[in-house]
Amino acid sequence: MENLLSLTSFSLLISFLLLRSPSAVGFPAPAPSNNDSDFIRTSCGTTLYPELCYTSLSRYANAVQSSPAQLAKVAIGVSLSNAKRMAAYVSNLSRHADYGSDHRSAAALHDCFSNFDDAVDQIRDSLSQMKTLGSGQGSVRFQMSNVQTWMSAALTDQETCTDGFQDVPDGTVKSEVVKRSEKVKKVTSNALALVNCVAEKSG
């Protein structure tokens, strides 16, 4: 009986610790609430690619909660990660691809990397600005205007990458680069839409 009581007390203690702080005993944080997820789904409804928006951002519902500015910041961070991976992919491809006599592919890849490299810088600047939002470094409206400008420029650079392949003959390199670029453009477009929502409210 004494062992049974000790085991019960131990179980109650563990349950109490889990309720108090899951991470303190090495367990993952609780799943996001339905309200947080619903906020992200509703917000993503303002974007051009709502399903992609929701699937790429819903995992951050705990951090976002119901904050439009926090959601925009997370979306910019996701856009940055995608753009950095794309820049690295194109850079690696341009070093190892066998173009033969097709100089147009080589030129398109070189320009694409340059465009994505610029986009990474612009998205990184946007994220840095979002992290100082409302901190006194200029008005929120001014800060959001900066973010809008940089994210729009990043999206333009990404579109320029795919435009550069229009005159390139169809092939594996072209199709793969364009396909991956389109995904990154959609993520960036969604982030810009969420930024615009915050900018409208700050105005």
First to last CA, the chain: 68
Question: What would the two tokens of residue 194 be?
Answer: 């969420």
Helix axes 103-131 and 68-96, enclosed angle (nearest 10): 150
Whether the CB-CB separation of 108 and 164 falls below 8 Å is answered with: yes
* Residue 192, pLDDT score: 98
* Residue 95, pLDDT score: 83
pTM score: 0.80
Least confident residue range of 67-71, 78-82, 171-175, 188-192: 171-175
Rounded to whole angstroms, the Cα distance separating 71 from 39 reads: 10
Mean pLDDT of the residues in the chain: 84
Residues 6+ apart with CB under 8 A from 89: 180
* Residue 6, pLDDT score: 40
CA nearest to 195, candidates 135, 136, 137, 122: 122
Task: Categorize the per-residue pLDDT at 104 as very low, low, confident or very high, splitting at 50, 70 and 90.
Answer: confident
User: Taking residues 154-170, what's their average pLDDT?
Assistant: 95
Whether the CB-CB separation of 155 and 86 falls below 8 Å is answered with: no
- Rounded percentage of the chain residues whose pLDDT exceeds 90: 67
User: Taking residues 99-126, what's their average pLDDT?
Assistant: 90
* Residue 173, pLDDT score: 87
Whether the CB-CB separation of 89 and 116 falls below 8 Å is answered with: no
User: Taking residues 69-86, what's their average pLDDT?
Assistant: 98
Higher pLDDT, 8 or 190: 190
Long-range contacts formed by 102-106: CB under 8 A, 24+ apart: 102/168, 102/169, 104/167, 104/168, 104/169, 105/168, 105/169, 105/171, 105/173, 105/174
* Residue 13, pLDDT score: 37
- Rounded percentage of the chain residues whose pLDDT exceeds 70: 79
Question: What would the two tokens of residue 178 be?
Answer: 């364009």
Rounded to whole angstroms, the Cα distance separating 150 from 114 reads: 16
Distances from the Cα of 67 to the Cα of 36, 63, 83, 181, angstroms: 9, 9, 24, 29
User: 32-60: per-residue pLDDT in tens?
Assistant: 456 789 999 999 999 999 999 999 999 99
CA nearest to 79, candidates 143, 130, 137: 130
* Residue 94, pLDDT score: 85
User: 170-203: per-residue pLDDT in tens?
Assistant: 988 899 999 999 999 999 999 999 999 999 988 6
Task: Categorize the per-residue pLDDT at 28 as very low, low, confident or very high, splitting at 50, 70 and 90.
Answer: very low
